[in-house]
Structure 1
Amino acid sequence: MQGFYVTFFTEQNRKHQGKPIGEWLIQKALELGLEGATMSTMSEGFGHDHKLHSAHFIDLSDQPVKVMLASHPEGISQLMDAIKQSNLNVAYVKTPVEFGMTLTA
């Protein structure tokens, strides 16, 4: 199947509509019926502001988070429209891909 692979980048402490942004993105993808999404926490990174974000032993609030998903063009378009309509500001990378499932007999 042809579609798009999208990765969103945020931090643990960023919230949207009362939820961490990563959770909001996963929930929205689920509501829209996208094929799947995965959220991962990272140990360190920096964004467009060139500020270093990292996980600290005691405080994880600044820990980088990424949400990754692959879906058909219509699903990704619906997700991006929902993000725009909710005024969510989040960094992303969107790449055309072929995706699917391998089946074993």
Structure 2
Amino acid sequence: MKGYQITFFTQQNRRFDYKPLSEWLLYTAKSLGLRGATIVPASEGFGRHQQIHSAHFFELADQPQEVVMAVTDEEAARLFAHLEALKIQIFYIKTPAEFGITGEAADDA
């Protein structure tokens, strides 16, 4: 199947609708019927303002996070229309991708 890998970049302490933004994105993807999404914690990074964000032993609030999704053209359009309607500002990378499932059909978790 052809589509896109979309990766959103945020931090643990960014919130939308009283939830961490990464969690909100995950559940929004589910509610929009997307195929799946994964939150990936990172140890350190910096963004457009050149500020270092990192996971510290005593404070994880500033920990960088990625939310990664593999979507079709239609799913990407639905997702970005939803984000635009809510005026959410978040950095992303949208890369053309081929995706699918290998092997025999099995129950997924």
Which band: TM-score by shorter chain?
over 0.9
Secondary structure of the structure 2 residue equivalent to 1:104: coil
Aligned residues: 105
Match of 1:82 in 2: 82
Query: Percent identity among equivalent residues?
Result: 46
The runs of 4+ residues in structure 1 deviating greater than 3 Å are none
Match of 1:93 in 2: 93
Match of 1:25 in 2: 25
What does the per-residue CA deviation read over 1:8-66, in whole Å, with 9 as the maximum and x for residues that have no partner? 00000000111110011101110111111100110000001110000011000000000
What's the TM-score once normalised by structure 1's chain length? 0.96
- Gaps (5+ residues) in structure 1? none
**Superposition pairs for residues 9-88 of structure 1, below 5 Å?**
9-88=9-88
Distance 1:18 1:87 in 2: 16
Secondary structure of the structure 2 residue equivalent to 1:81: helix
Distance 1:19 1:82 in 2: 17
- Gaps (5+ residues) in structure 2? none
Distance 1:68 1:42 in 2: 13
Letter in 2 for 1:91: F
Distance 2:51 2:37 in 1: 27
